[in-house]
Amino acid sequence: VVFFIINLPFYMLAWLRLGPQFTAKSLISVTALSGLTLILPDQISFAQLSTPMAAITFGALTGVGLLVIFRHNGSLGGLGVVALIVQDKTGFRAGYVQLCADAVIFCVALFLFPLPIVAWSLLGAVVLNIIIAINHRRDRYIAT
């Protein structure tokens, strides 16, 4: 619910800069993710999952999922909208924009959480953003 609400201001930015179709697809994606986060914890459990494997798997699956959403002209709102606008305006890849934003967020997190938790989360974010940075370019396939 919080994720959905936090993204509301980004829809206006997306509407103005990226268009109504992008905004609608982003709203659908955010709504679906918000709903799934309520359902999935009751449907999936792991008897054993190492922290490094969890971080890498999270990063890879989330990176591929975001790549699919981006290629279909949508986003999960928030910084993803900003990253795509920066990429379109400057050519600086969206994955690198997100990685820079994540670096700031993780620096702040160091003051709030223990170092090992921040480090494993950072590993997942790095994997995610490298997948996006390497694979997402507007001149490649974009579905309508």
pLDDT, one tens digit per residue, over 56-114 is 999 999 999 988 888 888 888 888 888 888 888 898 887 788 778 888 999 999 999 99
Stretch 50-54: mean pLDDT, rounded?
Answer: 95
Alpha helical stretches, state H, 19-113? 20-43, 51-71, 79-90, 94-109
Provide the CA 87 distance to its chain's centre, in angstroms.
15
Judged against a pLDDT cut of 90, whether residue 2 lies above it is answered with: no
Q: What is the pLDDT of residue 124?
A: 94
Judged against a pLDDT cut of 80, whether residue 40 lies above it is answered with: yes
Are 75 and 84 a contacting pair, CB within 8 Å?
yes
